[in-house]
Amino acid sequence: MRAITAFRKSSSFTLSIVFTVMLMMAALFVTYIMVIANDDLLVRESEAAINADILGFHSLHKVSKPKDIANEITNRINNTSTDFYYHFKDQNNRLLAGNISEWPKPNSPFLKNGILKLTIPALAQNEDDINVIAKIVTFDNQHKLLIGRNIEEIQLAQWIGKTFGWVMILFLCLISAASIWVAYYVVNRINDISDKADNIISTGDLSKRLPIDSDWDDLSKLSVSLNLMLEQFEQSVANIRSVSDSIAHDLRTPLTRLKTHIEKLENSEEKYALIKESDNLLSIFNSLLRIAEIETERKKSQFKEHDIETMLDDVVDLYMPVIEAKNIDLEVHVDLQINTFTCDKNLLFQAFANVIDNALKFTLEYGEIEMALFTTEVLKSKEKPEGMFKVADTIDATQNTLIFTVFDTGIGVTTADIEKLTQRFYRAEKSRTTKGNGLGLSLVAAVAELHGGKVNFVSDPLRRGHGLGCIIALPL
């Protein structure tokens, strides 16, 4: 089961979108600052200084002669700290004062509001041309004055601001893209870990490990820690199984000897009771060893192609006397698209037998049992046995699978008991008075797992208000 089914519904995606929106807002703000800090800001600041200078010269013109204005301009030019440039001429276009030798040409570019943008040639060879903005004022006597201001430093500051702004925008965009990528990476890694963990849980194979793609991120470090934990679990489970298998193996021999000694006793009810108990204990130990042998996969060497339908017929024939004795209504449905199935015939025969035996054990007289053997193609058809609606809930119909089902109208089990039916020695409360040792379905699960399949159980498969259904799914 995937931890996060849709990337867009994950918290990582939500957070990345929040961060991205915040960063985009910051980028828009920086862009806005760059726009308002462009030529308009440059022109406004310099225009204000020029306008103040113009007011001063207008006032001087009202009370002074052109010669006084020229002297004032000369004094300002001689102040080396000034950033202003002047060209004062009379009505005959003669230069009276100024540090700009030539009057702007008629085609000089205007920025706005009568503001000119000029380039003044450098005064020395090792100096650069000077960029200024200027305004022209005409006095009542037709004298004209051009006042310009150096904008080199302001342009430099503006260039630095623009460059920094673009770098900030690029940086914010990269952070936005990185946040979405990190969110996507985290979701994918979490899903990989979740899928692998789910596979380990569903198969019970503790030898599998979580994926580790790198050694720098925290999720990989988490995977390393979980793998160490799985390794300890695997070792602990192996030790427990080893102990239980050893006990079963070591006690089987003395029990066999004990049974031999009991059989030598004189015939009596106690003798036969002891023999019965001995047989029951030996059956338990043999089942434990059988399950252990299956779980260690020692029987895969016996896999061959067998006629699965004939195998089912043999199992049904084996239990037919019991079925007839209990007057049970048995229905068998076989719908196969295959002739043979690769398996361990003896183990699969025993698994089928255990499931049928379990159904017969808990189905009362005149009850019903429905068996079916089919492939997943049957689930896609409109006509199928009555209990197949329950199978569709537990089987992936897209996979090519062999399915064996046994549905009964027995006493059934509770929903809580269903999940524990394959545990060793587990017996539901309703079945404690019935003969058995709680290992039959454990062996069925072990056989199914050996064949790469699994076992599922459903309640009331035949819709009678009670009963149990066992579904064995084996990949083809």
Place of tokens 């089990």: 413
Q: Please tell me the predicted confidence (pLDDT) of residue 62.
A: 85
415-421: Cβ within 8 A, 24+ apart? 415/459, 418/457, 418/458, 418/459, 421/457
Confidence of residue 13 (pLDDT cuts 50, 70, 90): low
Give phi and psi for 137, each to the nearest 5: -120, 135
Q: Please tell me the predicted confidence (pLDDT) of residue 233.
A: 78
Q: What is the pLDDT of residues 281-333, one digit of tens each?
A: 666 666 666 666 665 555 566 778 888 888 889 888 888 888 888 898 888 88
More confident residue, 396 or 410: 410
pTM over 0.75: no
Place of tokens 């068998």: 332
CB 401 within 8 A of CB 247: no
Q: Percent of the chain having pLDDT more than 70?
A: 74
Q: What is the pLDDT of residues 125-152, one digit of tens each?
A: 666 778 888 888 888 888 888 888 887 7
Mean pLDDT value of segment 186-200: 79
Confidence of residue 81 (pLDDT cuts 50, 70, 90): low
Q: What is the pLDDT of residues 433-452, one digit of tens each?
A: 556 566 778 888 888 888 88
Nearest to 106 by CA among 120, 93, 116: 116
How would you classify the pairing of strands 95-98 and 84-89?
A: antiparallel
Structure tokens at 111: 């920025």
More confident residue, 313 or 278: 313
Between CA 309 and CA 338 the distance in angstroms is: 10
Between CA 223 and CA 172 the distance in angstroms is: 32
CB 103 within 8 A of CB 93: yes
Give phi and psi for 374, each to the nearest 5: -160, 175
Q: Please tell me the predicted confidence (pLDDT) of residue 380.
A: 64
**CA angle, corner 410, sides to 406 and 415, nearest 5?**
85
Quick check: 211 pLDDT over 60?
A: yes
Q: Percent of the chain having pLDDT more than 90?
A: 0
Mean pLDDT value of segment 225-231: 83
Q: Please tell me the predicted confidence (pLDDT) of residue 292.
A: 62
Quick check: 359 pLDDT over 80?
A: yes
Considering only 91-95, 212-216, 221-225, 466-470, which range has the smallest mean pLDDT?
212-216
Report the chain's mean pLDDT, rounded to a whole number.
Answer: 76
Burial class (CB in 10 A: 0-12, 13-18, 19+), 444: buried
